[in-house]
Amino acid sequence: MLRFITSSSLLLCVFLGFAQQEPIDLQPKDTVVHKQTYGLRVGIDLSRIILNQTNDDYQGLEIVGDYRLSHKFYLAAELGNEKKTTQEDLYSFTTSGSYLKAGVDFNTYENWYGMDNSIYIGGRLAFSSFSQTLNYYQYYNSDRYWYEDDFATGSEEAEEFSGLNAAWLEFVLGLKAELFANIYLGGSVRLAALISDKEPDNFSNLFIPGFNKVTDGSLFGVGYNFSITYLIPLYKKANKHKKQKPQMEQQPERPEMNNSEGPRN
């Protein structure tokens, strides 16, 4: 019995000796790595579908999409088609054509763990190809002696102007929120600036598909969209942690020598 107790005590001492050699980590690191989904997100603009149902003079469809490049950056694009008839006091015209917008988005929102929402800013280079049809027009004349009730009729015969195009830059501010798994609801506002505009000889482009209404004497336009999209997951990737700068170790202060004291005997 004494031999067994002695052997057990020796084994316990050896075990404790090895255990004390391993350092104790007082600040353990979190080993759980959160991986974010990368893939292609595609959907449609709901605002144009609503306009189709509520406005008889409008037909339109826009497909939206983005592809995640990194933790913050996305490639983004919109492809659409619009046909709109505008009624004014002296004339009526119909614009019909297609447009393409392409650019990048940058997500400024820091998500909590497990969330995948975004508040982003971005830019687009846009191009539109379209035609204008002047349905009818009347002459404006301030002298109403001969036409007291209405203006003089110019033409009621439709005239089409084809082969028109325009290009512009867009600044985008928007957000996307994940409603369910891989399903996102989003919206954005856009400030556009025309960089080129091919017009007919005797008519102005008062509406451009994708750009919206054109104001006389101004190159700027405003637009928006309200989209629902679905994410097609392709792969997952862990976020890169920011490198922390090493802290400088503070050296203990040395006691100052008092030169006034001489050597002691």
CATH number of 82's domain: 2.40.160.20
User: How many Cα atoms occupy the beta-carbon half-sphere of 106 within 13 Å?
Assistant: 5
> Does 250 fall in a domain?
no
pLDDT tens for each residue of 91-103? 899 999 999 999 9
Please say whether the beta carbons of 201 and 73 come within 8 A.
no
Q: Kindly provide the residue ranges of all beta strands, DSSP E only, lying in the chain, ordered along the sequence.
A: 35-45, 58-68, 73-87, 91-107, 118-139, 152-155, 159-180, 183-197, 207-208, 212-213, 220-238
Reported pTM: 0.75
The verdict on residue 23 lying in a domain is: no
Average pLDDT over residues 168-172: 98
Could you give the percent of the chain with pLDDT greater than 70?
71
pLDDT (0 to 100) of residue 15: 47
Range of the domain at 196: 34-238
Position 202 confidence tier, pLDDT thresholds 50, 70, 90 = confident
Asked whether residue 2 is assigned to any structural domain, the reply reads no
- Inter-residue contact 86 to 95 (CB < 8 Å): yes
Residue 158 domain-assigned? yes
Please tell me which residue, 244 or 158, carries the higher pLDDT value: 158
Partnered with residue 131 across adjacent β-strands are 96
| Predicted confidence band of residue 19 (pLDDT cuts 50, 70, 90) | very low
Residue 245 domain flag: no
Separation of alpha carbons 209 and 99, rounded Å: 6
Q: Are strands 212-213 and 58-68 parallel, antiparallel or unpaired?
A: unpaired
Q: Is residue 97 part of a domain?
A: yes
Alpha carbons 177 and 43: distance in angstroms, whole number: 14
pLDDT higher than 90, residue 34: no
Q: pLDDT tens-digit profile of 209-263?
A: 999 999 888 899 999 999 999 999 999 888 765 555 555 555 555 555 455 445 5
Quote the pLDDT of residue 133: 93
Residue 256 within any structural domain of the chain: no
Q: What does each C-alpha distance from 216 to 31, 89, 94, 207, 221 come to in angstroms?
A: 61, 17, 18, 11, 11
What is the count of structural domains for the chain? 1
Q: Is residue 27 part of a domain?
A: no
pLDDT band at 265 (very low <50, low <70, confident <90, very high): very low
